[in-house]
């Protein structure tokens, strides 16, 4: 455990930020699983709805710094390809 006041604060801030990042990642994974599940089931309407939400969550994760912007772009591109392949 740190002894210096600023180091103690950093520990608390890092814990808070790690929790926030974990929450964002978890939400993102859940939304992506729902999208992939809809695609695998062949349900175009559900997949389209889930796609919009998945893209939104990927953008939010990139904006918060949880995902790199190029990784976010790659994921969105893959989602789009999967959705378009259904048609």
State the average pLDDT for the chain: 96
Residue spans of the domains in the chain: they are 5-86
pLDDT in tens, 13-24: 999 999 999 999
Out of 3.40.50.11240, 1.20.58.110, 3.40.50.1970, 3.40.50.720, select the CATH number for domain 5-86.
1.20.58.110
- Rounded CA separation 15/31 (Å): 25
pLDDT in tens, 23-37: 999 999 999 999 999
Q: Count of H helices and E strands in the chain?
A: 3, 0
pLDDT at 87 over 90: no
pLDDT-derived band at 81, boundaries 50, 70, 90: very high
- Rounded CA separation 61/84 (Å): 24
pTM of the model: 0.86
């Amino acid at each position: 455990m740190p002894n210096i006041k600023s180091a103690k604060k950093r520990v608390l801030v890092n814990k808070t930020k790690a929790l926030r990042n974990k929450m964002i990642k978890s939400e993102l994974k859940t939304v992506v699983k729902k999208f992939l599940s809809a695609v695998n089931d062949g349900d175009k309407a559900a997949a389209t709805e889930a796609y919009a939400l998945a893209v939104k969550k990927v953008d939010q994760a990139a904006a918060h710094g949880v995902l790199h912007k190029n990784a976010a772009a790659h994921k969105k591109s893959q989602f789009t390809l999967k959705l378009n392949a259904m048609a």
